[in-house]
Amino acid sequence: MIKKKYPKAVNKVSWASCLLKPGRHYLQGNEACIEGALVAGCRVYAGYPITPATEAMEAASRRFPEVGGRFIQMEDEIGSACVLIGASWGGAKALTVTSSPGFSLMQEAISIAIISETPMVIIDIQRPGPGQGYITASQEDVMQARWGHHGEGPIIALAPSSVQEMFEVTIEAFNLSERWRTPVLVMAEETVAHMRESVVIPPLEAIEIINRKKPQDLGISPEAYCPWGHAVVAPMANWGEGYNVNFVGLVHLEDGNVTRYSPEMNRHCIERLQKKIEVDANSTGCLETKFLEDCSHLMVCYGVVSRTAMEAVAEARESRGLKIGYIRLRRLWPFPEKQLRDIVCDVDTVFVPEMNLGMMKHPITEALRDRCRRIVSIPSIGVLHSPDYILSEVYKDI
Amino acid sequence: MKKNDRLEIRIAGFGGQGVVTIGRILGEAFSLYAGKNSVNTQSYGPESRGGACKSEVVVSDGEIHYPNVRKADILVALSQVALDTYLSGLKEGGILLLDPGSVKDVKNQGKYRVYSVPCMELAYELGGVRYQNSVALGALYGLISHMIEESSLLKAISDNVPRNTLEINKEAFKRGMSYDKEKIPKGRE
Amino acid sequence: MLKYLKAEGLMGSRLPTILCPGCGGGQVLNYTLQAVDRLIAKDDIRKEDFLFISGVGCSSRITSHYLNFDSAWTIHGRALAVATGALLANPAFRVIVFTGDGDLAAIGGNHFIHACRRNINVTILCMNNGLYGMTGGQLAPTTEKGVVTTTTPYGNPEKSFDLCKLSETAGAPYVARWTTAHPRQIVRSVMKGIRKKGTAFIEVLSQCPVHKKMSPVAMLKMLKENTIPIGNQSQSGEGKIPVGEFLDIEMPEWNDSYENIVKAARKEDCGLHE
């Protein structure tokens, strides 16, 4: 007999129904991303305990069986990431939530997911490093998100800044992964994972859910099927559907043939993926902007740091009349260079507060170098910036 | 309270005193039952018991940007170390709610409005130190009653405690609430 | 068995295989496909439900490139983790994992013991040639003590795994060892393994004529002569490797056990994507 024990920490509403009912809920960030995944149709979770992501995994262990999904605690993070690949090709949407050391372990699996165009979502609740690190907040994996997997191969990485966004961005991550047949990363921080805030869940009919296109939908027979052909994003036949899909982790021809290798075929395969993500998936709508109309300085930020940044920007404008604008990167990768250049004309100083020693400041510099006089990094390690700290750095030079 | 004004509450003590629970219940009460926005964060050492522990609740009618306390309006100090660490983060004229059973020495008392409620002692009277966080919540209620109703806090408490201890926790809440009213120590207003 | 091989893809020929002449991998593929063929006929299993998964190595190459089945050529050591994921998504798959001794027991060791412990529904064909073939003949966890390989030029100082004992201790309900010189037995074991609910581990001692620098025929002879079927009373077993079915029991399979959890936990249908 399975004995049900209700731990005290759980908002009791989540026990009363299968998916959270539309309305206002009070959730921890770690819980919100699980609820978002369930709404998106995710039904397989694999993970490994790691602070500060463990609450997400524990929430998954309770919630996935409730909706008829499957949960497994694997023996390590490598296994977890590989389960996502198998589950995705078996036809399910799959999720894992980990932290920085586990994220490092998953890089090989991410690499093979990119080349095999496997939809799956990995949420990294970043904590400081390197090494074992500590269990506070950090944004130290944002470069690893793009470049951590071996080999060429683009990826999509989103950056939530609130518990509401942990819910929404997880759904968006699944939609992007299904639409573009790619692994998608959600780069959160310990702050937002452990924080509790209200989450407003809209009526489910109002939430867009995207599922992978299948060759059956397009009338493509097994004999005519090219697993990596037919469209910019190839329709994805899953195992068990009679399509005899050969999943490979090697560069390949459109029908999956890997035996006729040539450098030209290699390059063609890689460039096709590059274009798919860096060009076709590089959409607008990934920047949140404020106070840009008359600004002479700019604050460019992402993740939970953007909340401190917004507080600082509002105060600087109100108390000192400083004309400073605000841009939040909702998506880190593919880096929205064109979108940034389209909206930034000419400013004096661009401030980039990050919970690392300066990582996204590099692509920001590449994008805005000729649009500003200088770029100033505002680093913080292991702790969320306070508004006073950001303001003191801003006022230093202005 | 103006739309974007923030009420900032910090609760601190050592692990096992229910510091995190108090913050969570407060946050839930404000967010779900009092129609406000609130953010609840916490930090603690790795020990399950005994390490320093703090929980913060920021409340506003408007959107809350920075999620942590900048300068606390209310500090709930359940241990001496907590007080020593966080007193300077309490604004002048702010409210200090302390447990005199563990907090003996308050520097610069005159700068703050001090309320003394022996949460641990009252909890022991009811049957155990585990009820001290409900006592503390009751004591705290008196300080925020202009922003939230008693029923909201009680509802949040009942969401977060085992069903069979609900009545004791409600009683603990009432004791904390009424202690504050009856026995504000002289010279500490 | 040619009907099960993709001779031609849309983009050109895939055969002949890349396996060296005389490699045991080709035999294992042949015997496995024979078993699958019989099961499709006898047990009425759908061809679509078969799923072949492999890791990396010579033995893993017999999967994805050539099979006219759903298949996956994954990363080194992780075939069983991918198999776990596939079964979570669809418990109806009949999963066959092709792997080698290095892929399974070195880098894949952790997933191997946990797959056996969980008793996931897979049939593992481990082609054990006692070395790392694809990369040029290095030491493997199954290389016997004293053997010279390219990374043990002075002889191997380590002792080797007994993969069958490892599998049995970890919890697999079906454990067998054969050699490539035991074709009929392999076919029967694979059929039993696929029918078995849970992890079926079949170790096949296999020849690598290139790195052992022997002819395939000589190696097959050696495999036959240096092994002894368990329960064979007629010859002395001194110094010979036992082959046969070491274990064949029934145990609850992981997905079946988890199904009970879902039944107990499941709330009313939420309808969105079911």
Smallest CA–CA separation between C41 and chain A, in Å?
Answer: 17
Contact criterion met (CB below 8 Å) for C136 and C211: yes
Is A308's CB within 8 Å of B66's CB? yes
Instruction: Give residue limits of the domains in chain C.
Output: 19-232+240-249
Question: Which other chains touch chain B, taking contact as 3+ CB pairs less than 8 Å apart?
Answer: A
How is domain B6-181 classified at the CATH fold level?
A: Pyruvate-ferredoxin Oxidoreductase; domain 3 (3.40.920)
Touch between B and C (at least 3 CB pairs under 8 Å): no
Q: What pLDDT sits at residue B2? A: 59
Is A246's CB within 8 Å of C267's CB? no
- Tell me which of B65, B69, B159 to substitute to probe the interface with A (most A C-beta atoms closer than 10 Å): B65
Looking at the partner chain, which of A24, A26, A311 has a beta carbon nearest the beta carbon of B27? A26
3-state SS assignment for residue C79: helix
What letter would DSSP give residue C96? Answer: E
Q: What pLDDT sits at residue C9? A: 62
Residues 6+ apart with CB under 8 A from B47: B15
Distance in angstroms (rounded) separating the CA atoms of residues A66 and A88: 20
Alpha carbon separation from C260 to A43, A356, C84, C254, C256 (Å, rounded):
16, 46, 18, 10, 7
What are the φ and ψ backbone dihedral angles of B179, each rounded to 5 degrees?
-60, -45
Q: What pLDDT sits at residue C237? A: 72
Is B40's CB within 8 Å of A195's CB? yes
CATH of domain C19-232+240-249: 3.40.50.970
Question: Which other chains touch chain C, taking contact as 3+ CB pairs less than 8 Å apart?
Answer: A
Contact criterion met (CB below 8 Å) for A285 and A329: no
CATH of domain A287-397: 3.40.50.920
Number of other residues whose CB lies within 10 A of the CB of residue B88: 10
Please write the tens of the pLDDT for every residue from B23-69: 999 999 999 999 999 999 998 765 556 667 899 999 999 999 999 99
B 33-52 residues with CB < 8 A to A: 37-43, 46
Contacts of A383 in chain B (CB under 8 A): none
Is A244's CB within 8 Å of C68's CB? yes
C 1-30 residues with CB < 8 A to A: 6, 9-14, 18
Q: What pLDDT sits at residue A12? A: 30
Q: What DSSP assignment string belongs to A63-119?
A: HHHHTT-EEEE-SSHHHHHHHHHHHHHTT-EEEEEEEHHHHHHTHHHHHHHHHTT--
Q: Tens-of-pLDDT digits for all 274 residues of chain C?
A: 888 988 776 556 777 778 899 999 999 999 999 999 999 999 989 999 999 999 999 998 888 778 899 999 999 999 999 999 999 999 999 999 999 999 999 999 999 999 999 999 999 999 999 999 889 999 999 999 999 999 999 999 999 999 999 999 999 999 999 999 999 999 999 999 999 999 999 999 999 999 999 999 999 999 999 999 998 767 777 889 999 999 999 999 998 888 888 888 876 544 322 2
C 64-93 residues with CB < 8 A to A: 64-65, 67-75, 78, 81-90, 92-93
- A317 at the B interface (CB within 8 A)? no
β-bridge mates for residue C242, sequence order: C228
Strand A347-354: give its sheet, edge to edge: A287-290, A324-329, A297-302, A347-354, A372-379
Residues in chain C: 274
- Given a cut of 50, the residues of chain A with pLDDT beneath it are 1-17
Q: What pLDDT sits at residue C79? A: 97
Size of interface A-C (CB pairs under 8 A): 197
Expressed in angstroms, the distance from the first to the final Cα of chain B is 23
Q: What is the ipTM of this complex?
A: 0.92
Smallest CA–CA separation between B110 and chain A, in Å?
Answer: 26
Please write the tens of the pLDDT for every residue from C207-246: 999 999 999 999 999 999 999 999 876 777 788 999 999 9
Q: What pLDDT sits at residue A6? A: 30
Q: What pLDDT sits at residue B49? A: 64
Structure token digits, residue B128: 């155990």
Residue C56: HSE in the Cβ half-sphere, 13 Å Cα cutoff? 14
Alpha carbon separation from B6 to A174, B62, B72, B113 (Å, rounded):
35, 8, 10, 19
C 248-267 residues with CB < 8 A to A: 258, 260-262, 264-267
Q: What pLDDT sits at residue A7? A: 31
Does the pLDDT of residue B185 top 50, yes or no? no
Is A62's CB within 8 Å of C49's CB? no
Instruction: Give residue limits of the domains in chain B.
Output: 6-181
Which CATH architecture does the domain made up of A20-206 adopt?
3-Layer(aba) Sandwich (3.40)
